[in-house]
Structure 1
Amino acid sequence: MRIHPFEELDWQPTAMGDLTLRRRTDAALGVEIFEVKLGEEFLMSSLFTVAEEQLATLGLAVAVGDRLKVLVGGLGLGYTAIAALRDARVGAMTVIDTMPAVIDWHERGLLPVSGELTSDPRTSLVLDDFFAVMRREPDATDPLYDAILLDVDHSPRHQLDPSHADLYTEAGLSALSRHLKPSGVFALWSDDPPDHEFMAVMALVFAEPAAHVIDFDNPVTGGVSSNTVYVAGT
């Protein structure tokens, strides 16, 4: 496999390892690719955004009403957030990310969707720990959301940090549900196939959870890859 040279756009240390944003051009594909690594682990690539966009599309398809308030957990390259903004019913969107570098990348306009994302008056980028926010009991000053879209961990079984694991339990999902309106929706991206045990846990908290398999062409392997998007209502 040919290794294409890359340009390092940013590098910053974090509590979970060194975070790197880099850009490369794949001559064979004729595209510019943005990649994020945490330590030696690839987190995301702009070459594969279909499932991240479907996280927003499928989640909001179940949401009811207009002037929707949306919470996105995990900013990343911004494709979930942009897909949410393209739903005209979204009135306000808060995106929480725990890494200052990621928010900084978008505020500096380093990524393809950064300009569209940060110039939209509906967008608020917030530096915080999404998982800690979900554990907290919302008070009178906290908004309740029509939809919570989460794309941080690889899957419910494979977390970036052990502190995230409690969210994927009945207690953790129950705590998250307190931040949703009575007709609210929770949607979750996963890199793994549908997890039937996790679906059973979701069913203890949410109504009619569904697991959508998102297939997409993989130009690296020449085959088809897939992710999972879970969607459930309150």
Structure 2
Amino acid sequence: MGARFEELDWCDSPIGVISLRRRHEPVTGREVYEVKIDDEFLMSSLFTVVEIELARLGLARVDGADLSVLVGGLGLGYTARAVLEDPRVRSLEVVEAVAPVIDWHRRDLLPDTVGLAADPRCELVEDDFFAMVAERRAGRRHDAVLLDVDHSPRNVLHPSHEAFYTPDGLGRLADLLVPDGVFGLWSDDPPDAAFEADLAATFRDTETHVVSFPNPLTRAESASTVYVARSPLAP
């Protein structure tokens, strides 16, 4: 066996030093790809169930075909890949604030999502999703917007994201959606009643899903939350 871990890339970003590393996980015997911000773990290829379920649960509530989808946050690419597996999707725009993350995919550094950047339906855009929403400069409306950036609505990566998780921020997000469009959000926290109330004040239809998955490191079940909201209410 070679080195226990290898740092594949790193760079400064507005939210800290972001790095991609590959390491051998002795519990599973597999190679694992991880993203860190400074010394904090952000995401891992060891845990991808909820990122995939974000796409599946969100798109399950979308009617019709020739869908236009916006994903906020590229990361390791599992949500984007799951979106493209839906044959109804005509176009996918992925908004990612950190340019090197986009470059990881253009260089196919991540084996599970090789080819993502080359898919003709997929456009990788360097931009700040939260600023784009706040400034209402998305350009067009989408059938679905799926967001996986912060740990949760109460545990954000940067203070500038906090305003998004308010009635005003969600109202601006609704401007990105067609009349029956769907918003999906990943959260690593349990269901948040206050945030659910804000969603219900902004959308006609809301659901909260607790998604469980096996955790090989703890040899137990872990869980995250996926919020799905459909049909924005008129402002």
- State the TM-score bracket (shorter-chain normalisation): over 0.9
Q: What is residue 207 of structure 1 aligned with on the other side?
A: 204
Structure 1 unaligned segments of length 5 or more: list them: none
Q: CA deviation at 1:77?
A: 0.1
Contact kept, 8 Å, 1:19 with 1:36, in 2: the verdict is yes
Q: What is residue 32 of structure 1 aligned with on the other side?
A: 31
C-alpha distance in 1, partners of 2:34/2:224?
18
What is the TM-score with the length of structure 2 in the denominator? 0.95
**Which range moved further: 150-159 or 9-18?**
9-18
Contact kept, 8 Å, 1:185 with 1:233, in 2: the verdict is yes
C-alpha distance in 2, partners of 1:15/1:132?
13
Q: What is residue 10 of structure 1 aligned with on the other side?
A: 9
Determine if the alignment matches structure 1 residue 185 to structure 2 residue 182.
yes
Q: Which digits, 9 at most, give the CA deviation of each residue in 1:42-87, with x for residues without a partner?
A: 0000000000000000000001110100000000000000000000
**Which range moved further: 222-231 or 130-139?**
130-139
* Counterpart code for 1:7: E
Q: CA deviation at 1:26?
A: 2.1
* Counterpart code for 1:187: G
C-alpha distance in 2, partners of 1:157/1:66?
34
C-alpha distance in 1, partners of 2:53/2:33?
19
Q: Which digits, 9 at most, give the CA deviation of each residue in 1:172-222, with x for residues without a partner?
A: 000000110001000000000000110001001012211100000000111
Contact kept, 8 Å, 2:189 with 2:224, in 1: the verdict is yes
Q: CA deviation at 1:138?
A: 4.9
Determine if the alignment matches structure 1 residue 67 to structure 2 residue 66.
yes
**Which range moved further: 182-191 or 8-17?**
8-17
Q: Which digits, 9 at most, give the CA deviation of each residue in 1:98-131, with x for residues without a partner?
A: 0011001111110123423112110000000001
**Which range moved further: 204-213 or 67-76?**
204-213
Q: CA deviation at 1:136?
A: 2.4
> What is the aligned counterpart of 2:164 among 142, 167, 186?
167
Give aligned pairs, total.
Answer: 229
Identity across aligned pairs (percent)? 53
RMSD over equivalenced CA pairs, Å = 1.2
Within-5 A mapping of 1:34-49: 34-49=33-48
Partner of 1:113, secondary structure, is: helix
Contact kept, 8 Å, 2:215 with 2:221, in 1: the verdict is yes
Q: What is residue 142 of structure 2 aligned with on the other side?
A: 145
Partner of 1:116, secondary structure, is: coil
What is the TM-score with the length of structure 1 in the denominator? 0.95
Partner of 1:224, secondary structure, is: strand
Contact kept, 8 Å, 2:81 with 2:113, in 1: the verdict is no
C-alpha distance in 2, partners of 1:16/1:23?
21
Q: CA deviation at 1:17?
A: 1.1
Q: What is residue 230 of structure 1 aligned with on the other side?
A: 227
C-alpha distance in 1, partners of 2:226/2:27?
30
Partner of 2:10, secondary structure, is: strand
Q: What is residue 56 of structure 2 aligned with on the other side?
A: 57
Structure 2 unaligned segments of length 5 or more: list them: none
Determine if the alignment matches structure 1 residue 216 to structure 2 residue 213.
yes
C-alpha distance in 1, partners of 2:197/2:97?
29
**Which range moved further: 196-205 or 114-123?**
114-123
Determine if the alignment matches structure 1 residue 128 to structure 2 residue 122.
no
C-alpha distance in 1, partners of 2:129/2:137?
13
Partner of 2:93, secondary structure, is: strand
Partner of 1:153, secondary structure, is: coil
Q: What is residue 83 of structure 2 aligned with on the other side?
A: 84
